[in-house]
Amino acid sequence: MELMKYEHCIVGANLHLQFTPAYRRDIFCDSVVISACRDIFHEVAKTLDVDIVACAFGPDHTHVFISRWKNYSISYLAQRFKGRSSYAIRKCFWERVKPKLWGKKFWSGGYFAETVGRVTSETIRYYIERQQGKHWKSEKHELLSGEEELGDVFQLKLSAFSS
């Protein structure tokens, strides 16, 4: 990823957000709901003038990787992405998701957030795709350059991200 240059600063931070539907239900087994949610996330990003570098869905969660977010707090971004998508899905696709939920709640109350320094877009995509596999598939991936195996877990060494 490129460093973002602004009038008085240069920023190299990116944000990984993960949201989970209420009761960790498998809402995202439905490709229509996935497509709608992805489109809504991109609309929110455009409105906020942030970039979505990657967006992926597991059956019961979603990952969104954002860059150019320096003007917002993490909680504000989570609120905007979750709030807008919840409203739109309940309004347009409620009959598709209603059987899996109780009440009118779409997202769980919390979220996962992690700031990430300068990494390439390919690294981000690889990370998100791989995270999806870890959540709901039992696959063992080949070690890549710079990776070490820690039991059943693979972790990139810090040196793998050096320029």
How does pLDDT run across 36-56, given as a tens digit for each residue?
A: 999 999 999 999 999 998 999
| pLDDT at position 141 | 44
CA triple 95-101-103, angle to 5 deg? 90
Residue 21 β-bridge partners = 107
- Hey, what are 37's tokens? 């949610």
* pLDDT band (50, 70, 90) for residue 132: low
Give the pLDDT score at 45.
Answer: 98
Kindly state the average pLDDT of the residues 10-38. Answer: 91
Across 100-151, where does the E strand assignment appear? 112-116, 147-150
Task: Share the mean pLDDT of the chain.
Answer: 81
Share of the chain above pLDDT 70, in %: 73
